[in-house]
Amino acid sequence: MTSRPAVSLAQRKRQLVEDELTETAFRLLTAKGFDAVTVDEIAADAGVSKRTFFRYFASKEDVIVRFLADLGAGIGAELAARPTTEPPSAALRHAVSVPLAACGEHGDRALRAVQLILRTPALHARFLERQAEWRERLSAELARRLDRDPAADLYPRLAAGMALTAFGAVLERWSDSDGAADPVALTAQAFALLAPALDAPAA
């Protein structure tokens, strides 16, 4: 009777467990603080074993950070999708705006995740690690786009770093304002400041 589902039952179960784990972790961690909650506690509360928790997440930090990490992972691809005619500052601004805008829309959930991350050293460290990965992708994409030699030329690396500096600054402002500030507007401001360096004629 029921048509064969596009995703198997097993896959849906897996997704269910992951969601439950994320949900539970989120609730407990925001309520009690990162260090005051053990993985055992999260797992028990979600109705699975500790071992299962680690089959879904690489670390305790991962549950929270993955939230943002997934958003930012696409930055490199966003940049690649921008027309080559666009000056770097505009292309980077658009690439960075995508995850930031997504944050703004996700509302409360994303806000609390960001606040937790920025205020918890362990989470912040993991987040910075992810950013470093994004930076490498961005840098490579910029080098390709502008046909620069990334081994001899500092520009791609610095431009990628500047874009992510803007990203971090905007995220911080947004977090500190409890979501009141507009991420996209802040991004525009930041890139207006960076543009003179980003778009300077080739050295």
Which residues are near DNA by CB under 7 A?
8-10, 13-14, 17, 37-40, 47-52, 54-56, 58-61
Taking CB within 5 to 8 Å according to partner kind, which of its own copies, DNA, none is near residue 146?
none
Nearer to its own copies, 16 or 192 (CB): 192
Q: Distance between CA 9 and CA 54 in Å, rounded?
A: 22
Nearer to DNA, 8 or 177 (CB): 8
Contacts of 111 (CB under 8 A, 6+ apart): 103, 174, 175, 178, 179
19 HSE (CA, 13 A, CB side): 6
Nearer to DNA, 49 or 177 (CB): 49
Residues 83-122 that bind its own copies (CB under 8 A): 121
Q: How far is CA 8 from CA 11, 12, 31, 144, in A?
A: 5, 6, 35, 40
Give the contact letters, 136-165, x = binds to its own copies (CB under 8 A), - = no: ------------------xx-xx--xx--x
